[in-house]
Amino acid sequence: MEHILFWVLLPYDALFFPLLLPYFWVRVALGIATGLFIPHRIIGLVACALGNVAVVAYAIFATGHPDNIIKFLNSMWSNPFISLFVFIGVVWWFVGRIMRWAFYKIRGHTHASAS
């Protein structure tokens, strides 16, 4: 039961990770903007992932000593769950891509009916 609860509560922990909570909306805006405005999928995905790493590094730097960044990046390679917290913002890139698809789908229907 504890194993199931861990996976059920993982998104909640990712959302309310105390260190990153003030930067949650920055990550949301970054993910949706890269999904909407960068037309190439791979470039947009890489930009979103690198942007999320930069936001997390800044959050760690803003909360304490610069050595915390080095410790965090070292632990990110050894613990895959910490990487999940960093790259959970990439989910918002998918939201941006869906919004882009919907925009062009609706736009295509309105232009076709107007002519």
Q: What is the DSSP string of the chain?
A: -HHHHHHHHHHHHHHT-TTTGGGHHHHHHHHHHHHHH--SHHHHHHHHHHHHHHHHHHHHHHHS-THHHHHHHHHHHH-HHHHHHHHGGGHHHHHHHHHHHHHHHHHHHHHHHH-
Mean pLDDT on 14-40: 77
Supply the pTM of this predicted model: 0.65
Helix axes 91-114, 24-37, angle to 10 degrees: 40
Identify the pLDDT of residue 65: 63
Using pLDDT thresholds of 50, 70 and 90, give the confidence band for residue 111.
Answer: low
Identify the pLDDT of residue 54: 83
Q: Is the pLDDT confidence value at 7 over 80?
A: no
